[in-house]
Structure 1
Amino acid sequence: MFTCYTKQDRFETYVLTNEDHKINIEVVPERGGIISKYIHNNEPIFYLEQETLEDTSKNIRGGNPILFPISSYLVNETYYYNDIAYQLKQHGFARNLEAKVIHTFADEHCASITLEMVDNEETYERYPFHFKLIMKYSLTKSGLSIQATINNNDNKVMPFYLGYHPYFYVEDKESIEINIPSSNYKEMVPNSVVQDKFNFNQPESTVIYEQLQSNHCEMIDHARQLKVTITSEDVYQYMVLWALQGKSFVCIEPWMAPENGMNVGQGIQYLEASQTHTSTIQITAESLI
């Protein structure tokens, strides 16, 4: 049996869990509707620096931040719409919006929570569209489903490209194997790939993969005998790896568009007035023992 309940930490937190609490997620609506924690069979799947969750002046380092209306960064944090310049910081602003819980559900098979984020005066100055972003998180014994539905509530075509920034907990980086179904990549930080392997032995490494040959990416953690699979729909055309030396995580990030996407015109989704766009990614974890 699955259940959904709330607890009060620094912020109100929704917990979705099964009866023995071996599988659960925690969702913090006030902090960008983020899934802050994900546990599978008592093993942490997501990494979290708790102090960044509690401090609203900081971007959260951990969990699974939502990247909207852009998934990457813009050169000079600037893009143009109808020849007018607008500024958007890296990864957009959804991760800093407060979400409203509109539905929860739990039965013997799964638990889910649905949240809603909408535009406001501040977002409209940087992104001149009225929108609604609905996030539905569903947890089962086999894994986590993350569904985003974007409503264009404006009277003009709305460009966007969504992404996610999951921080996967890793005890020993030397013991993990990452399988990305592409040989086409760009190093966003020099020397991020050494001898065809992602380089954990420098202060920061970042790689963006394109021309994915399938929608399944894997991280095998041999130290913990654990495999994590990220399955995304075809609209997520790019996969990014990011890591910092000395930190117990690696980010494997599904993006719809590459860096500077608004300006280079790649991967952008154009949503007609009053229309909706829905996409889903899934994260599954399984023991290799």
Structure 2
Amino acid sequence: MSMTLTQQTDPYLHWEFVHPASGDRLRIVPERGGLVTEWRCGDRDVLYFDAERYIDPTKSIRGGIPVLFPICGNVPGDVLPLNGVDYTLQQHGFARDLPWQLQLLEDQTGISLNLSDTETTRASYPFSFLIEMQVRPVAQALEIGISILNRSEQTMTFSFGLHPYFNVTDPAEVELEGLNERCFNHLEMADTDTASQLGRLSEGVDFLCRPAGPVTLIDRVDGAHVQLQHQPPMDLTVIWTDPPRRMVCVEPWTGPRQALISGDRRLEIQPGARSQLNCRYAVS
């Protein structure tokens, strides 16, 4: 591996990618769910990451960009029925808990993270697959492209999402532009008006919107903007806060919770075929 991708031990064991032109930096921990833990753009740490919690292996990770696959959210009783068989699948699936393979992209403009099925994954999700996720820091933005190959002999059904945590000065001083007037509140599993949820960011929210265009997170204290630029089918947006953490998650999902059961925006890939997903986060 070239000098643009190096292994570091401080403040925790990780791989560091430095863009050869801009100097923008990513930190990646492939063995912990292919997790991007840091995106430094110019002089700004865009992502929130709780490093203290991270180094306690008994605790779930809070921060970075966790990957959600093959479901987003949970399924009732953690049971996913597929083709007449009940499979046990935990919330958000298994991708965020497994070791991924890390490579430098050939043009050295970013990194590639790969995950393929194992005997363990097939016990909870009966498909053979290969996920290739390319992460590229570009001028004032982060581009993420995901290719999913169905290596099974049957049609593969799935959802996919990202769960990035963004630093904010104070969740009570945050605006979100581009959301619809109505949303689905995951805490109550009911439709509601988005404005009431936005007024409660500092209290803790978890809701899904189906926006028509980009969604922009605005920090009113320092004026920073982060804009999620969707591409279908990964064009749903979930907003999540976890007070008193000074962060807001702006998450692109392909389908709502329980999509594989309800069929609402459930994605399918034919045997031997690929699905391509893309999104982009621009900062200003």
2:18 maps to what in 1?
16
Q: Report the number of matched residues.
A: 278
2:216 maps to what in 1?
218
- My pick for the range that moved more, 179-188 or 247-256, is 179-188
Please give the alpha-carbon distance, in whole angstroms, between the structure 2 residues aligned to 1:93 and 1:66: 9
How far the C-alpha of 1:11 sits from its partner, in A, is: 3.0
Please give the alpha-carbon distance, in whole angstroms, between the structure 2 residues aligned to 1:17 and 1:224: 26
**Correspondences of 1:163-182 after superposition (within 5 Å):** 163-182=161-180
**Correspondences of 1:60-71 after superposition (within 5 Å):** 60-71=61-72
Please give the alpha-carbon distance, in whole angstroms, between the structure 2 residues aligned to 1:167 and 1:12: 18
How far the C-alpha of 1:26 sits from its partner, in A, is: 1.2
TM-score of the aligned structures, taking structure 2 as reference length: 0.90
> Aligned to 1:142, which of 137, 140, 143?
140
Change (3 A) 1:125 1:24: same
How far the C-alpha of 1:92 sits from its partner, in A, is: 0.7
Q: Check the 8 A contact 1:79/1:87 in 2, yes or no.
A: yes
**Correspondences of 1:87-166 after superposition (within 5 Å):** 87-105=88-106, 111-166=109-164
Unaligned runs of 5+ in 1: none
Amino acid at match of 1:116: N
How far the C-alpha of 1:18 sits from its partner, in A, is: 5.0
2:244 maps to what in 1?
246
How far the C-alpha of 1:197 sits from its partner, in A, is: 2.8
Amino acid at match of 1:209: C
SS of 1:229's partner is strand
Q: Check the 8 A contact 2:131/2:148 in 1, yes or no.
A: yes
How far the C-alpha of 1:227 sits from its partner, in A, is: 0.9
Unaligned runs of 5+ in 2: none
Please give the alpha-carbon distance, in whole angstroms, between the structure 1 residues aligned to 2:168 and 2:193: 18
Q: Check the 8 A contact 1:156/1:273 in 2, yes or no.
A: yes
Amino acid at match of 2:208: I
- My pick for the range that moved more, 193-202 or 244-253, is 193-202
Please give the alpha-carbon distance, in whole angstroms, between the structure 1 residues aligned to 2:270 and 2:80: 20
Q: Check the 8 A contact 2:202/2:241 in 1, yes or no.
A: no
Q: Check the 8 A contact 2:133/2:147 in 1, yes or no.
A: yes
Q: Check the 8 A contact 1:193/1:199 in 2, yes or no.
A: no
Question: Is 2:215 the partner of 1:207?
Answer: no
How far the C-alpha of 1:224 sits from its partner, in A, is: 1.6
Please give the alpha-carbon distance, in whole angstroms, between the structure 2 residues aligned to 1:205 and 1:147: 28
Please give the alpha-carbon distance, in whole angstroms, between the structure 2 residues aligned to 1:270 and 1:195: 35
Q: Check the 8 A contact 1:163/1:254 in 2, yes or no.
A: yes
How far the C-alpha of 1:198 sits from its partner, in A, is: 3.9
Please give the alpha-carbon distance, in whole angstroms, between the structure 1 residues aligned to 2:182 and 2:195: 15
Where do 4+ consecutive residues of structure 1 move more than 6 Å?
Answer: none
Name whichever structure is richer in strand by fraction. Answer: 1
- My pick for the range that moved more, 72-81 or 126-135, is 72-81
How far the C-alpha of 1:193 sits from its partner, in A, is: 5.4
2:234 maps to what in 1?
236
How far the C-alpha of 1:142 sits from its partner, in A, is: 2.4
How far the C-alpha of 1:33 sits from its partner, in A, is: 1.2
Change (3 A) 1:274 1:195: closer
RMSD after superposition: 2.1
Change (3 A) 1:131 1:55: farther
2:186 maps to what in 1?
188
Change (3 A) 1:53 1:19: farther
Please give the alpha-carbon distance, in whole angstroms, between the structure 1 residues aligned to 2:268 and 2:208: 23
TM-score of the aligned structures, taking structure 1 as reference length: 0.89
Change (3 A) 1:188 1:98: same
1:216-249 deviation digits (Å, cap 9, x = unpaired): 1101112122111111112024211111221111
How far the C-alpha of 1:14 sits from its partner, in A, is: 2.9
Q: Check the 8 A contact 2:182/2:193 in 1, yes or no.
A: no
How far the C-alpha of 1:6 sits from its partner, in A, is: 1.1
